[in-house]
Copies of this chain bind each other. A is one copy, B any other.
Amino acid sequence: MADEGSIVYLVDDDERIRMSLTRLLSTAGYVVRSYASAEDFLSHHDPAIPGCAVVDLSLPGMDGLGIQQTLVSSQVKRPIIFVTGYGDIPTSVRAMKAGAVDFLTKPVEASALLSAVVHALDRDVETRREGERKQTVEKRLAILTPRERQVLAHVAAGRLNKQIAGDLGTVEKTIKVHRARMMRKMEVRTVADLVRLVT
């Protein structure tokens, strides 16, 4: 299996459920870390580690939706699968609108949970890939001088050096220099690559 060894964070206050789901997920090849409360999970949570979360909706203290809101508002994209015994429709809809991967009712069917985990991990991989791409671009943009950033915007818009010079109140030769340095720093060789990178 492709996701074998990926981490599944399990948050449920019922120890029997934790044992049961841990067993199920471990057997499927996942590494499981379980927590009995939202607070315990969040305080040990490292967004940098790939994986997904399987969260019981009703928890003592902060509940499952609270975990989701906390993660969402802190820009953490950890995919969440909710499981619940007592949920209602409005809650499930709110969870899904907030980006939950799935919302399962107890007793949880093994196949449904495993399928949801696969989807969640897929989404996590995709999110991380895109996040890394953005990071790379941001890092490169960060080392540009203000002038180079201006030139970048014009070049990406398809403007000619001569036109850019006019807009920025300088001469073509100067733009050529800024442009060349900007392209080096952005690590692209063609305008096409540049446009794809910053779009």
Chain A positions within 8 Å of B, measured between CB atoms, are 84, 87-90, 92-93, 96-97, 102-103, 105, 155-158, 189-196, 199
Contact = CB atoms under 8 A, between A and B. Distances in A.
A104 to B, nearest CB: 8
Given A96-B96, A156-B192, A195-B199, 13 more contacts: A84-B89, A88-B89, A89-B89, A92-B93, A97-B102, A155-B192, A158-B190, A158-B193, A191-B191, A191-B195, A192-B192, A195-B195, A195-B196
B192 A158 contact: yes
A48 B95 CA distance: 32
A68 to B, nearest CB: 14
A164 to B, nearest CB: 12
A191 B158 contact: yes
A182 B90 CA distance: 52
A155 B193 CA distance: 11
Contact of A96 (B84, B97, B195, B196): B97
11 contacts: A84-B89, A88-B89, A89-B89, A92-B92, A92-B96, A156-B192, A191-B191, A191-B195, A192-B192, A195-B196, A199-B199
